[in-house]
Structure 1
C-alpha cells in the first residue's frame, strides 16, 4: 500500500470487499437541506440521505442553444424525491424534457462538519444519448460503503447541447458547447452546496463512462471549469481532439437542411417542437463515412480554446490526478456477433470487414497479418474485436496517458479483463466497468452477473475508486501496489476477480497502430 493512504480509505476498501447486493428498502422518513437556492426535502433510505431531481439550472426550452442559467431562489421546501426528466434524445430513457438540468445526491449524512469526498458522475452515450436515471448509476453502494457523497448529473445532449451555430448567427455564441456549460453549472452547484450534504467542496472527483469520460477530458482543459474538481477518472472515454469549427458548421448546415431551416432564419429553431429537433438527428454526417450526424464539443475559441490532448495534454489539467481505464474488448458492445460486419467472418473476408471499422488509415491486410503473428491461436472473430478495440477505443486512452506522462502529470492506467460467467463469449465489452465501479452488479441491465467473481471484481474496483476520491491515489489494501504511469514501464492495473499489474500490456498492438496518425472519432 502506498504512502498517504489514510485509515478511512483502508476501512472503505475493507467495507467494499464485503459488499453484497441487497434490495432497497425505502423508509418514509424525510430530510430537509437548505441550499443556496432554497430548501429541498429528500428521503432517508436504508440510513442514507437521498435527494433525486435537484434543480441546478433553469428550464432550457426558452433558451435553446444558449448558456444555462442558475435557477432563481425559492422560499418554500421543494421535494427532491423522484428523478427528473432526462434530455430529449433518440431511444428510450424514460421521461424526457428540455427542462432537464437536474442532479441527484446520495450521502451518509448532512452534517456540514463531515467533509466527505465527493464523487460526481457524468453519464455516457457519446454526446447524443444517455441518462443517470438508471439503476446502474445508483449511488447508494458507493455512498454507504465508502463514506462519500455521490452526485449524478443530467445535461443537454445532441443538437440541444452541441449544435454549433456561432459561425452562422452570432446570437448563439455558446451553442457548440452548451452541454459542457451545463456540466460546469452543475459543478458550480456542487462547489456552492455540497457542504450542506456532508461533502467537501475542496475534494471533488469527477468520473464518467464513455461519452462521460470524454466530457471530463474536455472539461480538464476548459477555462470555465478551472478549480471545480480535483481528481478525474475516465472510463472508456477519451477526447484527444474536439470538433473543429469548420466541420461543426458543415454538420450544422446538414442538420438545418434536414429540418428545412434557412441558416439566415435561425430564430425558427426556437419555434419547432423538440421532437422535430430529435427527428432531425437522422441526417447523415457530412464528414464521417457512415452513421448519423455527430455532435460534440467544438474548438470555438470562446468556451474551448484548444484541444484537450493535442498537441499535448492541456496544461490546465496537469495538476489534477487522473485515472484512465478501458475494457479489454470494447467493440464487442458496438458490433454484435449477429451484425453484418462479423456474420460469416473468415480469413478470406477479415481484412475487408476490418477496413471500415478500424477508423484509421492503415492497410487492413497488414493488420491481419500482424495480428496472426501476435496471436497465432486467435480466430478471425477474435482478431476482429482485438484490432477494432486497439485502433479506435483504446488508442485515445494510450495517447492521453502518454501525454500526461511526458508532462510528469499524475496518471494511473487500468484495463478491465473481468469476463462475466453468464456471457463468456462477450469478453469484457464497453460498459462492464459501470456496475463494477458503482457496486450495482445486481441492477437490471448489468452485464457483470452477481456471482462470487463479480462481487470480487466489484469490491476491488470500488476500493480503488474510493481511495482515489479520498486521496488522488487509487492504491488501497486490497490491491497490489499500483505505480503511476510512465513511458519506461507503462504500468497498468488489470482488474479481474483479482488484480495485478502488467507493464505495457498489448505492447505489439500499441506499436502497430502507433505507425499511423490517430483521428478522434467524430472530430
Structure 2
C-alpha cells in the first residue's frame, strides 16, 4: 500500500485506515499558517520540511465557536467533542487513497464542508473518505478559515491588498484545490479528473468556485448538496454575496467593537478575543461575514452565474433533503392568501390560487415548498437553456430517519448516506438505510469517475437509471426508504414557481 507519498514540500507518511487497504494522510499543510502578518491575507506557500512528516491525525480546526456545547441537533449528531483542538493555524488537508503506487491515476474528490461559513471542519466523523476510497476514488477534504477570520472585509484591506481584499476562506479552498492539482498524482490520483463537492455552505463554496473563472480547467465536475436556493415568496439573501461596501461597513464596526483602529493593531489581537467578540455580534444579529463581491475572486452572484451560463460549465449533481429550508406564505386564512398571491404574482395570482397545492395549509403556512429544490432546479433549467448544455442531475433525499427526536430529513442528514458512514452515527439505522447509503455512495462514485452517476453498484447490479433534469424531461432521483427510485416532477406548484423564477 502507498503509505509514504511525496509532496512539493516534503514526504508524508499516512496510516492504514480501518480498512488496511486504504491509507489515510491527515493534516498535510497546503499553505503557510494564516497567523500574524498572514491573518486576513490570501494563503501563502507552505514551508518545506526535511525527512518524512507523520500525517496521522487531523490538524486543528478553524477558529469558531467551541463544538459540542449546545443541545441542538448538530451538537448531538456530529459536533460532539468540545475538547477538539482549535487554532488559527488551520490550513491543512486530508487524503484517503487505496492506491498501491503513485502512477495509478484514480479520479479525485475534493470536498468542502458546510456550516454557514461560520462553523465546521474536516474532522467531522461523517466526512470519513474510506468508503469512497474503496470505490477507487482518491478523497481530499480541505479545511478553510471561517467567520471573521475567513470572510472579514474592511476598507483598509481593500486599500492595502486590492488583489485579495477578502474571501480568504474561498481563497483557502482554491489554494487547496490547486495543491491537489500539483500533488495528487503522488497519491495515485488523476489531476485531470477532479470533482469538487460540498454541502450547505460547502455547496455554496462549490458554486463560488464554479463562478470564479480563474479556476477554469481545475475540475471536471461538481456536486452541490443543499447549496442552491430559490426564494419564491419573501426575498432571502442569505447565500447572495454581500457588496464590498456593505461588508466593509461591518468590518469597520467590528474594529470599533474590538477596540482597534488599524489593520496592524487588529492583526496583533488574540484570536480567541476576536472569536468571542465576533460571535457575540453575530449571534445578536449585528453582523455576519460571508462571501463578498470583491471584483477579484467573486465577480457576480454564483447562482446568477449558473443560471446565465457564465460559470465554469461542467456536469453537476445537486439536490436537497425533503424537510430542509421550507418556505411558505404567511396568511391567516384564504382571504389573506389571496392578498399575498396578488402581491407576489400580480396578474398570475388567479393561476397560482388554482393550483391544488396552493391552498394546502400546514402549521407553518400555505403553499409549502422547498427553497433548495427550487434553487437547484432553477439553476439546472438555466444551464439547459445554454448552447450544448451540460448534464445536471437532480436528487431529493426523503428516506425515513430513525431516532427519538423525530428529526425527519433534516438539513445535512444525507451526508451520513453519501459518505456511507452510518456506522459512526448513534441513530438506530437498519438494513434498508445501509442499502440506501450503499446505493447513494455508488451513484456518487460513478459521477466522480465519469460525470455521470449511472452505472453499476458494488455488487455489479445496474443502478436505476438517473436521467438529467431538463426543461423537456423533469427527471428526479428520489432516495427513499425503499432505495433509489427514478421519478418525474409531479408538483404543479414547483413548476409554476420555477416559471416565476426565470
TM-score (norm 1): 0.79
Structure 2 residue 467 is the aligned partner of structure 1 residue 483: yes
Pairing 1:39-438 to 2, within 5 Å after superposition: 39-45=11-17, 46-47=19-20, 48-62=22-36, 63-92=38-67, 94-144=84-134, 146-166=135-155, 169-173=158-162, 174-238=164-228, 241-262=240-261, 265-282=262-279, 284=281, 291=285, 293-310=287-304, 313=307, 315=309, 317-331=311-325, 373-374=356-357, 379-381=362-364, 387=368, 390=370, 392-407=371-386, 408-422=389-403, 425-438=406-419
The aligned counterpart of 2:478 is 494
Q: Secondary structure at the match of 1:323?
A: strand
Count of matched residue positions in the alignment of Structure 1 and Structure 2:
458
In the aligned structure 2, how far is the partner of 1:248 from the partner of 1:320? 31
Between 1 and 2, higher relative CO (CA 8 Å, sep ≥ 6) is seen in: 1
Q: Which ranges of structure 2 fall in alignment gaps of 5 or more residues? A: 68-78, 230-238, 457-461
**Can you list the C-alpha shifts for 1:469-513, whole angstroms capped at 9, x where unaligned?**
110001123432222121123211111132222323434145247
In the aligned structure 2, how far is the partner of 1:120 from the partner of 1:371? 45
Runs of 4+ with >3 A deviation: 166-169, 282-285, 311-319, 346-352, 369-373, 375-379, 392-395, 421-425, 512-517
The aligned counterpart of 1:9 is none
Q: Which ranges of structure 1 fall in alignment gaps of 5 or more residues? A: 1-28, 336-345, 353-357, 518-523
Whether contact under 8 Å (1:414, 1:494) holds in the other structure is yes
Whether contact under 8 Å (1:328, 1:415) holds in the other structure is yes
In the aligned structure 2, how far is the partner of 1:79 from the partner of 1:482? 42
Identify the range of structure 1 (290-299 vs 63-72) with the bigger mean alpha-carbon deviation: 290-299
Q: Secondary structure at the match of 1:397?
A: helix
The aligned counterpart of 1:453 is 432
In the aligned structure 1, how far is the partner of 2:354 from the partner of 2:409? 19
In the aligned structure 1, how far is the partner of 2:501 from the partner of 2:252? 31
In the aligned structure 2, how far is the partner of 1:371 from the partner of 1:40? 64
Q: Secondary structure at the match of 1:426?
A: coil
Whether contact under 8 Å (2:203, 2:225) holds in the other structure is yes
Q: Secondary structure at the match of 2:51?
A: coil
RMSD: 3.3
In the aligned structure 2, how far is the partner of 1:371 from the partner of 1:84? 56
Give, in angstroms, the shift of residue 214 of structure 1: 0.3
TM-score (norm 2): 0.82
Q: Secondary structure at the match of 2:424?
A: coil
In the aligned structure 1, how far is the partner of 2:489 from the partner of 2:305? 23
